[in-house]
Amino acid sequence: MLRLFKLLLLVLMLGCATTTSAQYNREYFFWAGRRCMMNNDYQEAIRTLNTLLRVDDEAFEGYFLRGIAKYNLDDLLGAEADFTRAIELNPVYTQAYTYRAITRSRLGNYDDALQDFREAIELRPDLPGPYYSRGVTRLLNQQFEEAISDFNKYIRQETKVADAYICRGLSYLHLKDTLAAYADYNTAIRTNRENPNGYNRRGTLYMQQKRLQEAEADFNKAIECDSAYLLSYFNRALVYSDTNRPMAALADFDKVIRLDSTNSLTYFNRAMLRSQIGDYNRALEDYDKVALYSPNNVLVFYNRAGVHAQLGEYEKAIEDYTSAIELYPDFANAYIYRGRLRALLRDPKGARSDRDAAQQKIAAYRERLSDSTYSIYADTTQHFDRLLSFDSKFAGSSFDRITGGQRGGEEMRLLPLFKFTLMQPDTLERVRHYHPKRLADFEQRIGNPMLALSWQDSSLPADSLVAVDRRYEQRLKREVPTWITLFERGVSQALIKQYTNSVNTYTAAIEENPSNPFLYLNRSTTRAEMIDFISSIDNSYQRITIDSDPANRLHNNSKRTYSYDEAVADLNKVIKLFPEFAHAYYNRANLKALSGDLPAAFDDYTKAIELNPHFAEAYYNRGVVQIFMKDTRKGCLDLSKAGELGITEAYEVLKRYSQVE
| Higher per-residue confidence, 102 vs 652 | 102
Establish if 254 belongs to a structural domain. no
Kindly report, residue by residue over 260-299, the tens digit of the pLDDT: 888 888 999 999 999 999 999 999 999 999 888 777 777 8
Helix (H, G, I), strand (E, B) or coil at 358: helix
Instruction: Identify the band that residue 534 occupies on the pLDDT scale cut at 50, 70 and 90.
Output: low
Is the same domain home to 472 and 529?
Answer: yes
Tens of pLDDT, residue by residue over 146-186, are 999 999 999 999 999 999 999 999 999 999 999 999 999 99
Range name among 119-133, 327-341, 481-495 with the lowest pLDDT average = 327-341
Residues above pLDDT 70, as percent of the chain: 82
Handedness of CA 196, 201, 206, 210 (dihedral sign): positive
* Helix pair angle (462-478, 483-495), 10° resolution: 150
In terms of Cα–Cα distance, which of 166, 165, 134 is closest to 147? 134
Does 223 lie in the same domain as 145? yes
Same-domain pairing of 476 and 607:
yes
Over residues 511-520, the mean pLDDT reads 96
Domain count, the chain: 3
> Domain check: are 224 and 307 in the same one?
no
pTM, two decimals, is 0.65
Task: Answer whether residue 397 is part of any domain.
Answer: no
d(CA 522, CA 595): 19
227 plus 302 within the same structural domain: no
Instruction: Provide the mean pLDDT of the chain.
Output: 82
Report pLDDT digits (tens) over 204-260: 999 999 999 999 999 999 999 999 988 999 999 999 999 999 999 999 999 999 998
Q: Do residues 202 and 282 share a domain?
A: no
Q: What is the mean pLDDT of residues 382-393?
A: 59
Domain boundary among 193, 210, 244: 244
Q: What is the CATH number of the domain that holds 612?
A: 1.25.40.10
Task: Summarize pLDDT for 59-75 with one digit per residue, the tens.
Answer: 999 999 999 999 999 89
Q: What is the pLDDT of residue 428?
A: 57
> Among 362, 378, 394, where does a domain finish?
378
Question: Is the pLDDT assigned to residue 370 strictly greater than 60?
Answer: no
**How far does CA 632 lie from the centroid of its chain?**
12
- Cβ burial, residue 484 (10 Å; 0-12/13-18/19+): middle
Q: Based on the domain organization, do 238 and 271 belong to the same domain?
A: no
More confident residue, 39 or 392: 39
Whether residue 137 is contained in a domain is answered as yes
For residue 32, name the pLDDT band (cuts at 50, 70, 90).
Answer: confident
* Same domain for 482 and 346: no
How crowded is residue 311: how many other Cβ atoms within 10 Å of its Cβ?
14
Percent of the chain's residues with pLDDT above 90: 57
Q: How buried is 437 (Cβ within 10 angstroms: 0-12 exposed, 13-18 middle, 19+ buried)?
A: exposed
Does any domain span residue 387? no
- Whether 236 contacts 219, CB under 8 Å: yes
**398 assigned to some structural domain:** no
293 and 234 part of one domain: no
- What is the Cα–Cα distance from 174 to 564, expressed in whole angstroms? 56
Greater confidence (369 vs 346) lies with 346
Could you tell me which residue, 576 or 362, shows the higher pLDDT? 576
In a domain, 383, yes or no: no
**Residue where a domain stops, chosen among 357, 378, 399:** 378
Would the pLDDT of 368 be above 70?
no
Question: Has residue 76 got a pLDDT over 50?
Answer: yes
Residues 527 and 557 in one domain: yes
pLDDT at 331 over 70: yes
Instruction: Tell me the H-state helices in 243-347.
Output: 246-259, 264-276, 280-293, 298-310, 314-327, 332-344
How high is the pLDDT of residue 399? 25
| Average pLDDT of the segment spanning 545-558 | 29
Residues 171 and 287 in one domain: no
| Residues 180-208 pLDDT 10s | 999 999 999 999 999 999 999 999 999 99
312 is in which domain, residue-wise? Answer: 262-378
Mean pLDDT of 507-514: 95
Tell me the average pLDDT across 295-305. 85
Select from 453, 461, 422, 416 the least CA-distant residue to 435. Answer: 453
Q: Assess if residue 384 is contained within a domain.
A: no
**Which letter does DSSP use for residue 607 in this model?**
H
Say how many Å lie between the first and final Cα of the chain, rounded: 10
The stretch 500-513 carries a mean pLDDT of 92
Whether residue 392 lies inside any domain: the answer is no
DSSP letter string over 45-105?
A: HHHHHHHHHHH-TT-HHHHHHHHHHHHHTT-HHHHHHHHHHHHHH-TT-HHHHHHHHHHHH
Q: State how far the Cα of 302 lies from the Cα of 308, in Å rounded to an integer.
A: 10
Per-residue confidence (pLDDT) for residue 427, from 0 to 100 = 60
Instruction: Write out pLDDT tens, residues 414-466.
Output: 899 999 999 987 665 554 567 889 999 999 999 999 999 999 888 888 788 88
Same domain? 223 vs 329? no
d(C-alpha 120, C-alpha 112), whole Å: 12
